[in-house]
Amino acid sequence: MNYKQTVTGMLAVLVLVMGACSPNARETRKEVMFDENNPFYTPSTLPFEAPDFDAISDEHYKPALLAGMEQEMGEIEEIAANPEPPTFENTIVAMERSGQLLDRVRRVFSNMNSAHTNETIQQIQSEMAPRFAEHSDNIRLNADLFERVRTLYDRKDELDLTEAEEKLLRDNYRSFVRSGALLGLMEQERIREINAELSSLSTEFQQKLLEMTRERAVIIDDESELEGLSRDRIAAAKEAAEDRGHEGKYLLSITNTTRVPVLTSLKNRDVRRRVWEASAHRGIGEDGSIDTRPIVLRLAELRAERAQLLGYENFATFALEPQTAENPDNVIDMLTDLIPAVKANTGREAEMIRQKMLEDGIDDQVRPWDWEYYAERVRESEYDIDDAEIRPYFELDRVLKDGVFYAMNRLYGITFEERFDLPVYHDDVRVFDVFDHDGEQLGLFYADYFARDSKRGGAWMSSYVGQSHLLDKKPVVVNVLNIAKPAEGEPALITFDNVTTLFHEMGHGVHGLFSDVKYPSQAMTAVPRDFVEFPSTFEEDWAIHPEVLANYAIHYETGERIPQDLLDRIIAARAFNQGFETQEYVAATMIDKEWHLLTPDEIPDDVMEFENFALAKYNLDYEPVPPRYKSPYFAHIFSGGYSANYYAYIWSEILAADAFAYMKERGGLTRENGDHYRETILSRGGSREAMDLYMDFRGEEPGVDALLRRRGLTAN
3-state secondary structure 620-634: CCCCCCCCCCCHHHC
Predicted confidence band at 714 (pLDDT cuts at 50, 70, 90)?
low
Per-residue pLDDT, averaged over 379-406, amounts to 92
Catalytic residue among 204, 505, 594, 653: 505
The rounded distance, in Å, linking the Cα atoms of 141 and 152 is: 17
The rounded distance, in Å, linking the Cα atoms of 414 and 684 is: 18
Cα 340-343-348 angle, rounded to 5 deg: 130
CB atoms within 10 A of CB 288: 6
> What's the pLDDT score for residue 385?
80
> What's the pLDDT score for residue 30?
42
253 close to 240: Cβ distance less than 8 angstroms:
yes
Answer whether residue 28 shows pLDDT above 60: no
Residue 359: what residue type? Answer: E
Strand 441-450 to 476-483 pairing: parallel
Q: How far is CA 237 from CA 104, 220, 426, 448, in A?
A: 38, 9, 21, 20
Q: How far is CA 658 from CA 694, 698, 703, 707, in A?
A: 10, 9, 7, 7
| Alpha-carbon dihedral angle through residues 293, 295, 301, 303, given to the nearest 10 degrees | -130
Taking all residues of the chain, what is their mean pLDDT, rounded to a whole number? 93
Over pLDDT 70: what percentage of the chain? Answer: 95
The rounded distance, in Å, linking the Cα atoms of 435 and 417 is: 8
**Span 405-429, pLDDT tens digits:** 999 999 999 999 999 999 999 999 9
Using DSSP's 3-state secondary structure scheme, residue 432 falls into strand
CB atoms within 10 A of CB 605: 7
Predicted confidence band at 575 (pLDDT cuts at 50, 70, 90)?
confident
646 close to 328: Cβ distance less than 8 angstroms:
no
Q: Give DSSP secondary structure letters for 507-543.
A: HHHHHHHT---SSGGGSTT-S-HHHHHHHHHHHHGGG
**Span 329-365, pLDDT tens digits:** 999 999 998 899 899 999 999 999 999 999 999 999 9
Predicted confidence band at 26 (pLDDT cuts at 50, 70, 90)?
very low
Chain CA centroid to CA 645, Å: 12
**Span 611-659, pLDDT tens digits:** 999 999 999 999 999 999 999 999 999 998 899 999 999 999 999 999 9
Per-residue pLDDT, averaged over 460-479, amounts to 98
Which fold is adopted by the domain 3-140+142-179? Neurolysin; domain 3 (1.10.1370)
> What's the pLDDT score for residue 17?
30
Nearest CA to 39 out of 7, 67, 3 is that of 67
Under CATH, which number does the domain 391-573 receive?
Answer: 1.10.1370.40
Give every CB contact of residue 24 below 8 A, 6+ residues apart in sequence.
Answer: none
Is the Cα torsion angle 620, 622, 628, 631 positive or negative in sign? positive
> What's the pLDDT score for residue 712?
76
> What's the pLDDT score for residue 25?
36
Predicted confidence band at 31 (pLDDT cuts at 50, 70, 90)?
low
CB atoms within 10 A of CB 43: 12
Secondary structure letter of residue 548 according to DSSP: H
109 close to 115: Cβ distance less than 8 angstroms:
no
Nearest CA to 658 out of 716, 713, 700, 715 is that of 700
Helices then strands, each counted (H, E), the chain: 29, 7
Answer whether residue 104 shows pLDDT above 70: yes
First to last CA, the chain: 67
> What's the pLDDT score for residue 705?
86
The rounded distance, in Å, linking the Cα atoms of 213 and 453 is: 8
**Span 172-225, pLDDT tens digits:** 999 999 999 999 999 999 999 999 999 999 999 999 999 998 899 999 999 999
Strand 218-220 to 460-465 pairing: unpaired
610 close to 630: Cβ distance less than 8 angstroms:
no
> What's the pLDDT score for residue 680?
98
3-state secondary structure 462-516: EEEECCECCCCECCEEEEEEEECCCCCCCCCECCHHHHHHHHHHHHHHHHHHCCC
Answer whether residue 3 shows pLDDT above 90: no
Per-residue pLDDT, averaged over 79-86, amounts to 98
> What's the pLDDT score for residue 703?
83
Spell out the domain ranges in the chain: 3-140+142-179, 211-288, 391-573
Of 448-452, 494-498, 513-517, which gets the smallest average pLDDT? 494-498
Per-residue pLDDT, averaged over 298-327, amounts to 97
Predicted confidence band at 574 (pLDDT cuts at 50, 70, 90)?
confident
Predicted confidence band at 75 (pLDDT cuts at 50, 70, 90)?
very high
Predicted confidence band at 256 (pLDDT cuts at 50, 70, 90)?
confident
Per-residue pLDDT, averaged over 390-416, amounts to 97
The rounded distance, in Å, linking the Cα atoms of 703 and 716 is: 14
Instruction: Give yes or no: 215 in active site.
Output: no
Over pLDDT 90: what percentage of the chain? Answer: 85
Give every CB contact of residue 428 below 8 A, 6+ residues apart in sequence.
Answer: 448, 449, 450, 452, 485
